[in-house]
């Protein structure tokens, strides 16, 4: 049927509106992630899978078994923001960023494939395409996805120890590889060999960096990465939480443990948040270990 000017005008407005909605959806990966490509979820998850692969114990019991060298597990029993935290010794483990945008990789498979002892994920993805990263994704010098100018404000990266770190806000210089956090506006391509865009920053220069306005937002499961003196700390929330209360809890834990943690970033939210740990009792997981992810941050024994 031939379109009249009025129909063409209405069609143009509709197309522009649709384009805007799609663009907005693309930037909501932190708060409304999907668990498989092309699927949608009705709202924030209220529970996620947890347990031990290839084991008969609960994940809490399995944590009492022998853990990999350089890994310490802490379960933080907090009323509003309980956490599973894994403290990692940079002398014994090294970070590696693994990614498969478009095709995806499951945490359970990545743990074995890359000889990882710990992993946490994932990066931010588009709501309508859960294997499409949102923001920077760079692996071994190859940029798989460019920096996103709006939204997530931090770049979490891995680099050789010898590189210039003068603009790095979060440091750990021990070992051959270091992890750093910079604001996206300070990012330069040669700063890290592997990097991903994350955020928001939860703690910056040792201080809470989240406004109380966060308490007005929905709660989500979260995965986090902290850069500290003499260690790295990764973890997941054990129930949906606000980033504001999560940050307060982390500051309390760091103070009690004597950990000097300068930077903490939010790595993922909702169904994208996952952590896995290899133990003598089996592969401990919190979050879906078999759902494909676009990227994962892992830690393997130093060679």
Read off the pLDDT of residues 137-190 as tens digits, 9 standing for 90 and up: 999 999 999 999 887 899 999 998 644 443 344 443 333 579 999 999 999 988
| pLDDT at residue number 183 | 94
Q: Is 259 helix (H, G, I), strand (E, B) or coil?
A: coil
**Which strands, in side-by-side order, build the sheet including 194-198?**
142-145, 137-139, 194-198, 154-160, 177-183
What value does the mean pLDDT of the chain take?
84
More confident position, 122 or 247: 247
Of the candidates 169, 144, 165, 166, the one whose C-alpha atom is nearest the C-alpha of residue 155 is 169
> If you write DSSP's letter for every residue of 153-177 in order, what string do you get?
-EEEEEEETTS--TT-SB---SSSE
Paired strand residues for 138: 143, 195
- From first CA to last CA, the distance across the chain in angstroms is 68
Do the Cβ atoms of 169 and 181 come closer than 8 Å?
yes
Whole-prediction pTM: 0.83
| pLDDT at residue number 35 | 40
Residue 62 host element (H or E): helix 59-62
Q: What phi, psi does 284 have (nearest 5°)?
A: -80, 135
Residues in CB range of 271: below 8 A, 6 or more apart? 33, 34, 35, 41, 45, 48, 221, 287, 288, 291
Give mean pLDDT, residues 81-110: 95
| pLDDT at residue number 46 | 96
Question: Does residue 17 have a pLDDT over 80?
Answer: no
pLDDT band, residue 27 (cuts 50/70/90): very low
Do the Cβ atoms of 89 and 70 come closer than 8 Å?
yes
Question: Does residue 25 have a pLDDT over 80?
Answer: no
């Amino acid at each position: 049927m031939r379109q009249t000017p009025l129909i063409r005008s209405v069609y143009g407005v509709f197309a522009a509106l649709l384009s805007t909605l799609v663009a907005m959806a693309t930037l909501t990966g932190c708060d409304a992630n999907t668990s498989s490509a092309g699927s949608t979820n009705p709202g924030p998850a209220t529970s996620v899978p947890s347990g031990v692969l290839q084991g008969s114990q609960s994940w809490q019991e399995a944590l009492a078994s022998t853990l990999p060298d350089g890994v310490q597990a802490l379960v933080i029993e907090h009323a509003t923001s309980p956490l599973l935290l894994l403290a990692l010794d940079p002398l014994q483990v090294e970070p590696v960023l693994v990614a498969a945008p478009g095709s995806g990789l499951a945490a359970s498979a990545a743990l074995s494939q890359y000889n990882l002892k710990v992993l946490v994920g994932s990066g931010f993805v588009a709501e309508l395409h859960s294997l499409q990263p949102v923001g920077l994704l760079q692996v071994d010098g190859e940029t798989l996805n460019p920096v996103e100018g709006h939204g997530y404000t931090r770049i979490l990266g891995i680099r050789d120890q010898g590189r210039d770190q003068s603009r790095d806000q979060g440091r750990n210089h021990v070992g051959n590889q270091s992890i750093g956090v910079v604001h996206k506006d300070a990012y330069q391509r040669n700063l890290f060999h592997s990097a991903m865009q994350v955020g928001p920053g939860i703690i910056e220069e040792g201080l809470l960096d989240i406004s109380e306005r966060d308490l007005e937002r929905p709660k989500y499961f979260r995965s986090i990465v902290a850069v500290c003196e003499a260690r790295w700390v990764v973890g997941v929330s054990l129930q949906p939480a606000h980033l504001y209360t999560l940050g307060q809890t982390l500051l309390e834990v760091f103070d009690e443990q004597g950990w000097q943690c300068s930077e903490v970033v939010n790595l993922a939210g909702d169904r994208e948040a996952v952590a896995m740990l290899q133990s003598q009792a089996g592969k401990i997981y919190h979050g879906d270990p078999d759902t494909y992810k676009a990227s994962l941050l892992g830690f393997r024994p130093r060679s």
